[in-house]
Structure 1
């Protein structure tokens, strides 16, 4: 999976705008490649990850052993619908290829992310929305704009947008971004 998703993982981390002091959460980190890339950007910050699979937690801890030992990376098993973090904890929340599992009820996922983001914090999630050469995308632009972006705005996200991403293995990718408003 690391090699298979390398292109969109690298691209997602490159547009996440992670700053050296950021506290970053990755939801559904798999084997931990994005965790590794995020940790290199958050040089004075911390990277956390949550994944449903005990096997993936083990693999990601192996891949990121040094950073886990030093306490700069914390990886645990858990669900995106019930994030085990306090409110206003993260500057960035990133998720790659998890949309498919929470898309049946994105409200739960998005409200949990909104809760744990700091004011001014950003959510960025990337997913495949279609395949080259196919007549119709799995998730077309109307679905993304009318369903996902509208829901994010209703929850309270601002600066909600999407950005076309790389084509990898014939699949088209897209990133959706939203910001939690800063406290007034």
Structure 2
């Protein structure tokens, strides 16, 4: 793949748009569903939880999320207008039932009041945070005290084998994420480290190492 194509792919992965963005979004959903389910399971969802997801993509995983407990309310937060639109379409029954809503934002300040959410999860967005500590501070603000946050990411050792990650990705191994957490108001409750088999565009199986950091809001 040419450099220009890799740059375009990296851009689509961080902010899907246009016809190509729809294809990328479906590919991300299929490739990342194992990581997404792991993030959700680690939240230990309870009846009545108010849940936020940062960077929901097409949100094809909501049926799985709502199966975890009763009377959950989900809010998805995105920078991509395409993903916002697609998620609403795919999940229109949940939106109509007022179980889910989808919100656009600028990637920095969220449009929510303090102490709004019980649980938060995000999958493979960490690489695109321009200022990770500012992002963690903002997420702490909108989470209730003692709220749980599943932060799920693939390890640097895997991500650096992909040809597009030199273009706009900041990669982390677990110890580097831990250093960020230690500077924030979150504390690490659990690291769930996993290895799964995923397939390249050529169909070849590869082993992907990822972690879910289960963080507790200690503000």
TM over 0.5: yes
Over residues 77-136 of structure 1, what are the superposed CA-to-partner deviations in whole Å (9 max), with x where a residue is unaligned? 11442111111111111001101101x52111100110011011011111111329x7xx
Q: What is the correspondence of 1:82-161 to structure 2 with a 5 Å cutoff?
A: 82-102=109-129, 104-129=130-155, 130-131=157-158, 139-140=172-173, 144-145=174-175, 147-161=176-190
Cα RMSD (Å): 2.1
**How has the CA–CA distance of structure 1 residues 16 and 97 changed in structure 2, closer, same or farther, with 3 Å as cutoff?**
same
Secondary structure of 1:122's partner?
strand
* Structure with the greater alpha carbon radius of gyration: 2
Deviation at 1:163, TM superposition (A): 1.9
2:97 corresponding residue in structure 1? 70
Distance 2:153 2:212 in 1: 7
Q: Give the whole-Å Cα distance in 2 for the aligned partners of 1:14 and 1:160.
A: 14
Q: Normalising by the residue count of structure 1, what TM-score does the alignment of the two structures yield?
A: 0.84
Contact 2:42 2:214 in 1 (8 A): no
Q: How far does residue 56 in structure 1 lie from its aligned partner after superposition?
A: 0.7
Identify unmatched segments of 5+ residues in structure 1.
none
Count of residue correspondences: 173
Equivalent of 1:165 in 194, 212, 215 = 194
Write the deviation string for residues 132-172 of structure 1: whole angstroms up to 9, x where unpaired.
9x7xxx533xxx33x43233233221244422024242221
Residue-by-residue CA offset, 1:21-80 (whole Å, 9 max, x unaligned) = 100000000010233322333521310011111111111112211110111101121144
Q: TM-score, normalised by structure 2?
A: 0.72
